[in-house]
Amino acid sequence: MRFLLALLLCTPALAAAQNYSSPALATLVADAAARNRFPPALTSYRADVETEISLVLRRADGTEAVGSVEQVASTLRWTRTGLYDQRINGHRMQQLGVNVSVLSGFRTGWLNPTLYGNRLRTRQAEPTDSSRSSRARPRNIAPADTAPVVHPLAADRDAWYAYTGGDTLVTMRVGTREIPIVRVQVQPRDDLTAAGSLFRGEMHLDASRGTLVRLRGAFEPVGAATQRSVGLIARLASRLTDGRAFIDYENGERDQAFWLPTTQRIELQVAAPNVSEGRAVVRIVSRFRNLQVNDTVLDAELIARADADSQRVRRRLSFAPPDTLRAFNDWGFALGQISDGLHADDFDAVGPDRWRAVGLPRFDWGVQNGADLLRVNRVEGVYTGFGARLALRDLSPGTVVRATAGYAWSEGAVRGRVEVQRDRGPWRYMIRAGRGLDITNDFRNPLDSGSALGPLTGLDEYDYVDRRFAGVQAQRTIGAREWVWRVESGMADDRSAVSALTQAPIGGVDFRINRHVDAGTYWRNALTVSWRPDGSAEFLRPGWSARLYAEHGAGDLDFTRLEARLTARRALGPFTAIARGDVGALLGSSLPTQQLFELGRSQGLPGYEYKAFAGTRAAVARTLLLWTGPWLREPTRAGRNLILPPVAPGASIGLQTGFTSAPGGAASAAVARLGAVADSAGVPVPVSRVSDGWRTSVSAGLRFFSGSVFVGGAQPLERGEKWRWLITIGQQL
């Protein structure tokens, strides 16, 4: 009997011990949990917070493009009694397309004021039906605004989490003190039956005192009841998409007594894996400064009542008057600077199972890029395809096999590819083979892979080559994507791509004939060196970036192609300066037409016709200066839940200059092979010619909605040339 009683008493302790990879780790976490209770002396604080909200597209190859940057300056007041009062005092924004302000989804704020306590309060997208209908709920509780997540240092943590690690990570210096930091891995228990919202990721703890320094990972729902409470449409969306809310909260020591926020990053990532391996990302990064601890005197009875009721929350987000928002100019960071250097892949280890590199082998249907599923162009007509992906994971870590196949209905051609990819640390190795329709346009922006549906209405500003290929490549990433080197080698076979469509399916616009291609088989070697590959002049990430490219073909087609690109983007108060320069040279004996450099309306010289100039030597430089005026710079509130971007009228002026040349008979002959069209008198006119020196155009006009809409025109700086009116979306150079 005594034995059974002792066993019953020990069972909870044994179960708790199984949650930790070692007794030492259990002791460390228990000590940290005790210290993570609210310090009795901490009652309130006030802080200035500067936040940057970015809308980002992460492509399948890992390259990121920033399409919108929204910068918010606010003041946060927090008290122990549950008060959260965030006041927005300044707002500015740049975007490439007209979007609704992300603030529409955070009407009660987005900050987590402290990491103390048993529960973290996170933003909940929409109120549940039960929360809408509950009339008995006290006014000061707002379940529609926030949802509780079990803290990994909560008193009841052993019922929810398992812990591993505890290894020394780094030594922090705070003044004259050295603080050893250890990392603890946290994950939900495998045997959970209750429903709840939990954390998965890592804690960084001060090993000397057991305090929480950093929390980095993802929030995720668990339990069968969670799935039952979700509607049919939401369940269907969860099957077709992968999504996760990631966080990276960092604390700093204040008054040598409290650990309070210094930086907070929230990242909402959504992918549609059947359509693309890319992701849409909302990145929210906040920096706290001028933090004043215990700025408010609170009654001890109120504090005791709040400590007893952990659900007591009063969150409020408000805006300063429009004239205050317009006049604000006390920015601590340039637009885009706060989130510079961050990447969506930072959280892959705690993302959905499909994103992880470890686990059982996984097979999924889906294509790498949306154009592999559906696209329209004048060569193929309508192309439809499908794909599959096999990640070997634990069977062969880092190895992924992909295959796509499809049919071009008007052309009557089958295209697709097979590739095997192996990632090992900073290295990526790949074997590829297939048949594709490649674009011959030059000096494109990094994300320009053609227009998937534009040709339906006649917009097809590209020329194509039918290319079969097989080869290998190796890629090396240095630092946090600071440098990327890639070498490639293999066989290629270029063939002519004849336009299957003469008119657009919608509107009947006549298509151009696809330009001449010199057919041939050749051995292809290439080298690409990219510095800051996520930077570009066409998107909103600030700073410099560069790219060097060299390609050599030997065989039926014998050529060497060299390219270099340098871009820069910088915000200076109401001004943004953007610049890009490209140079290229084509050398060799055969000089295939598909390797020539072409400039014109969509290729860096907007004042001229489509690919007006061509040659074996080319250079183009483009600059753009944007100015946002002092008027209507505040966001527009349309109802309770909708916040529109500022109208923010301004102006821009751009200068573009470039040249092409074709020295030697072989180069001139290659330009001539591009073809000719008949003018109004029936006289053949070359589709492209050498530029005969530098050609320059200037563009100027008004901009609206934070620079995203341009109304103006472009004028070649030559006698007799006319002004061309333009209405564009984005910030094209």
User: What whole-number percentage of the chain has pLDDT above 90?
Assistant: 60
**138 CB burial (10 A radius; 0-12, 13-18, 19+):** exposed
**For 278-289, how does the pLDDT look when each residue is reduced to its tens digit (9 = 90+)?**
999 999 999 999
32 contacts 153 by C-beta, under 8 angstroms: yes
Q: What is the distance between the terminal CA atoms of the chain, rounded to a whole angstrom?
A: 84
Lowest mean pLDDT among 491-505, 552-566, 628-642: 628-642
E-strand stretches of 141-211: 146-150, 161-174, 177-188, 196-206
CA torsion sign for 433, 438, 443, 448 is: negative
Lowest mean pLDDT among 90-99, 403-412, 599-608, 618-627: 599-608
Bridge partners of 124? none
Pairing mode of beta strands 314-319, 83-95:
parallel
The answer for 250, left when phi > 0, alpha when psi is -120 to 50, beta otherwise, is: beta
Q: What is the pLDDT of residue 479?
A: 86
- Which residues, 6+ apart, have CB-to-CB distance to 55 below 8 Å? 66, 67, 68, 95, 99, 102, 280, 281, 282, 283
Mean per-residue pLDDT for 385-399? Answer: 96
Q: For residue 51, what is the enclosing H or E element? A: strand 44-58
15 pLDDT exceeds 80? no
CA 554 to chain centroid, in Å, comes to 38
Q: What is the pLDDT of residue 311?
A: 56
Q: What is the pLDDT of residue 678?
A: 62
**For 224-249, how does the pLDDT look when each residue is reduced to its tens digit (9 = 90+)?**
544 444 555 656 666 678 888 999 99
199 pLDDT exceeds 50? yes
CA angle, 292 as apex, 288 and 297 as ends, to 5°?
135
Q: Where are the domains of the chain?
A: 2-350, 359-534
CA 413 to chain centroid, in Å, comes to 34
6 pLDDT exceeds 80? no
CA dihedral 24, 25, 31, 33 (to 10 degrees): -160
Mean per-residue pLDDT for 454-458? Answer: 87
pTM of the model: 0.89
Q: What is the pLDDT of residue 306?
A: 63
307 pLDDT exceeds 70? no
316 contacts 108 by C-beta, under 8 angstroms: yes
Q: What is the pLDDT of residue 136?
A: 43
CA torsion sign for 661, 666, 670, 672 is: positive
Higher pLDDT, 15 or 604: 604
Q: What is the pLDDT of residue 591?
A: 94
Q: What is the pLDDT of residue 176?
A: 67
Higher pLDDT, 411 or 590: 411
Mean per-residue pLDDT for 668-680? Answer: 83
204 contacts 28 by C-beta, under 8 angstroms: no
Secondary structure (3-state) at 262: strand
Secondary structure (3-state) at 431: strand
E-strand stretches of 223-359: 242-254, 258-271, 279-293, 314-319
User: Nearest-CA neighbor of 72 among 320, 280, 341?
Assistant: 320
Cβ neighbours around 238 below 10 Å, total: 12
Q: Which two tokens stand for residue 584?
A: 């290229």
Bridge partners of 364? 389
Q: What is the pLDDT of residue 590?
A: 87
User: Nearest-CA neighbor of 82 among 237, 309, 294, 248?
Assistant: 309
User: Nearest-CA neighbor of 118 among 76, 166, 160, 164?
Assistant: 160
204 pLDDT exceeds 90? yes
Q: Which two tokens stand for residue 490?
A: 């293999």
Mean per-residue pLDDT for 443-450? Answer: 85
Lowest mean pLDDT among 446-455, 473-482, 620-629, 650-659: 446-455
CA torsion sign for 428, 431, 434, 440 is: positive
Q: How confident is the model at residue 686 (pLDDT cuts 50, 70, 90)?
A: confident
Q: What is the pLDDT of residue 10?
A: 44
Lowest mean pLDDT among 1-15, 186-200, 525-539: 1-15
Mean per-residue pLDDT for 399-426? Answer: 97
d(Cα 557, Cα 555) in Å, to the nearest integer? 5
454 contacts 443 by C-beta, under 8 angstroms: no
d(Cα 149, Cα 129) in Å, to the nearest integer? 20
CA-based R_g, the chain, Å: 29
For tokens 């290629």, the residue is 492
Q: How confident is the model at residue 315 (pLDDT cuts 50, 70, 90)?
A: confident
Higher pLDDT, 607 or 54: 54
2 pLDDT exceeds 90? no
Q: What is the pLDDT of residue 303?
A: 66
**For 342-367, how does the pLDDT look when each residue is reduced to its tens digit (9 = 90+)?**
999 999 989 888 888 889 999 999 99
d(Cα 582, Cα 573) in Å, to the nearest integer? 28
34 contacts 23 by C-beta, under 8 angstroms: no
Calculate the alpha carbon distances from 405 to 421, 449, 452 in Å: 18, 18, 16
Q: Which two tokens stand for residue 570?
A: 């910088």
d(Cα 646, Cα 91) in Å, to the nearest integer? 9
Mean per-residue pLDDT for 461-485? Answer: 95
Q: How confident is the model at residue 313 (pLDDT cuts 50, 70, 90)?
A: low
Mean pLDDT of all residues belonging to the chain: 87
**For 37-56, how does the pLDDT look when each residue is reduced to its tens digit (9 = 90+)?**
988 889 999 999 999 999 99
**For 131-180, how does the pLDDT look when each residue is reduced to its tens digit (9 = 90+)?**
344 444 444 444 445 678 999 999 999 999 999 998 777 777 766 677 78
Q: For residue 628, what is the enclosing H or E element? A: strand 617-628
436 pLDDT exceeds 80? yes
